[in-house]
Amino acid sequence: MRIKTVYSCSTALIFLLAWFSADAVMAGGYNSGFKNSSYGRSWSGCYLGLQGGYGLSEISGIGSQYDGSSPGAYKLDLNGFVGGLYAGCNRQSGRTVLGLESDIEYSNADGDSVFYDPTPMAYLKTVEYDWLGSVRARAGFVASDALFYLTAGWAYSKSNHTITQPGSAFYHEYSKNRDGWTLGGGIEKFISNRFIARLEYRYSQLEGFTHLNSANNSRDAVDDTDISVVRLGIAAKF
């Protein structure tokens, strides 16, 4: 229930800001948020942007009783593209900027690993991320037209898990929604009165879980999962 609430709030925020941004363009309202202060352009206001980057993740766990025997450990390294939408609002006071931001991203990161249950009975575990998202607070420090910031909050994802046995007809697939936390930081810089570019790194950890499949008396116990992503982004401010 909690991850559905976070996902719904994140998606609603992005679409609300997208609608508001389009309305601001039609009304010619883009100039209202860019009056110069003693610290350069103002960071107060809302924004909507596109981001993309590269992610690394490690998933470990134990698969057990796929043939009614002892468990086997596995570890997968996943890597691939991550990209999507982000939106948020800032409030500047002097050199300090506080804000709230949400993002939702597609990912093609995947990986696989062989485990044994028991030796020499081999199974292949494959995992791929469908999407990643977050809802976060931000706090930063302004230096001329640049903003150095830290960010932290909720992280959530959907991943697909497949377990097969090479040389046999055994096949089991399931999807899992997971949530956790994320922490990172970055730098943003005005590249014009309207557009802001960013470079960001974030580390996320998703909570572990146990998946039970009564049809073939199997279980898959997945540990807490680490994700590291470096992103580039560009946003329109309004």
* CATH number of residue 215's parent domain: 2.40.160.20
Query: What residue numbers bound the domain in which 45 lies?
Result: 2-237
Q: What is the pLDDT of residue 49?
A: 98
**C-alpha to C-alpha distances, 190 to 58, 116, 125, 193, 195, nearest whole angstrom:** 35, 53, 45, 7, 6
- The Cβ of residue 112 has, within 10 Å, a number of other Cβ atoms equal to 15
User: Does residue 12 register a pLDDT over 90?
Assistant: no
Residues 110, 200: Cα–Cα separation, whole Å: 22
9 against 224, higher pLDDT: 224
Lowest mean pLDDT among 25-39, 46-60, 66-80, 111-125: 25-39
74: its two tokens: 């596995």
More confident residue, 9 or 94: 94
Count of domains forming the chain: 1
Predicted confidence (pLDDT) per residue in 132-149, tens digit: 999 999 999 999 889 999
Query: With bands split at pLDDT 50, 70 and 90, how would you rate the model's confidence at 22?
Result: very low
104 vs 10, 84, 123, 133, CA distance in Å?
7, 6, 33, 4
pLDDT at 130: 92
Beta bridge partners of 8: none
What's the pLDDT score for residue 116? 73
DSSP-derived 3-state class of residue 12: helix
- The alpha carbon dihedral of 169, 172, 173, 179 has a sign of negative
Statement: residue 44 has pLDDT above 80: yes
Q: What is the mean pLDDT of residues 199-222?
A: 87
Query: Is residue 214 pLDDT above 60, yes or no?
Result: yes
Q: How confident is the model at residue 225 (pLDDT cuts 50, 70, 90)?
A: very high
